[in-house]
Amino acid sequence: MLDNLDWYNIMVIDIETVPQYGSYAQVPENLKHLWEKKTTYQRKEETAEDFYRNAGIQAEFGKIICISVGMFTREGGLRVKSFASHNEEELLANFSAMLSKRSHNLVLCGHNAKEFDFPYICRRMLVNGIRLPLQLQIAGKKPWEICHLDTMELWKFGDYKNFTSLNLMAAIFNIPTPKDDIDGSMVGHVYWVDNALERICAYCQKDVVATAQLLKRFKGEELIEDDMVTIVE
């Protein structure tokens, strides 16, 4: 599996997102109306206000507060760097500038990234007036021309019925869990109530490491040792 994978041309990515506003009361009236319409069938018996805790997963109503990336090193390690900020435009501009310095054939990899991370980044870049870097420009390309890799898609082996979380994948492959502090459902509260962006950033970095380790398992290789994981400030 993945016999032709070039470790040194892969960038593992994970993002963390939150609702654009700290509370439903702060949402502009026109957006409240649109939120109510968009979530009518999803929230079932819940009010639009109660369901607003989920706004972070929809790019129209959420924002990115952290993007963590990891690159494999020739010494057998992993270098992890994060772009985290309360200013989404600044964060995305810095991330885009970093990608522009890399090969356009760089392979972007994440867990459920084709369904969530990659399109979310693209949508928020457009909202913030940032030109999409070449690695995220997929319009008009043939499937084999898109350098995106998704560990959840690889695990499906063509089966599209089920979602398999990174936490579950880590457990069955004996990879140290990235969910030892918070999980995705807590990110909005940790950001808006606890004001703990650094804590969220650390959580995002753990997801990147876990995804990189999962790739190692898929290729039948040993896990990266803890002391070979470098967090770049």
Task: Report pLDDT digits (tens) over 62-90.
Answer: 999 999 999 999 999 999 999 999 999 99
User: Is residue 29 in some structural domain?
Assistant: no
- Residue (of 165, 181, 185) closest to 173 by Cα position: 165
Predicted local confidence at residue 108, as pLDDT? 98
User: Is residue 35 in some structural domain?
Assistant: no
* CA–CA gap between residue 203 and residue 159 (Å, rounded): 29
Domain that residue 127 falls in: 7-20+61-232
| Number of domains present in the structure of the chain | 1
User: Is residue 38 in some structural domain?
Assistant: no
Q: Where are the alpha helices (DSSP H) in the chain?
A: 29-38, 40-43, 48-51, 88-100, 117-127, 151-156, 166-172, 187-192, 197-218
C-alpha atoms less than 13 angstroms from C-alpha of 171 in its C-beta half-sphere: 7
Q: Which of 41-45, 109-113, 120-124 has the lowest mean pLDDT?
A: 41-45
Average pLDDT over residues 166-174: 94
Residue 182's CATH number: 3.30.420.10
User: Is residue 25 in some structural domain?
Assistant: no
User: Is residue 1 in some structural domain?
Assistant: no
Per-residue pLDDT at 97 exceeds 90 = yes
* CA–CA gap between residue 212 and residue 111 (Å, rounded): 10
User: Is residue 146 in some structural domain?
Assistant: yes
User: Is residue 212 in some structural domain?
Assistant: yes
Q: How far is CA 229 from the centre of its chain?
A: 19
pLDDT tier, 56 (very low <50, low <70, confident <90, very high otherwise): very high
User: Is residue 44 in some structural domain?
Assistant: no
Instruction: Give the amino acid at 19.
Output: P
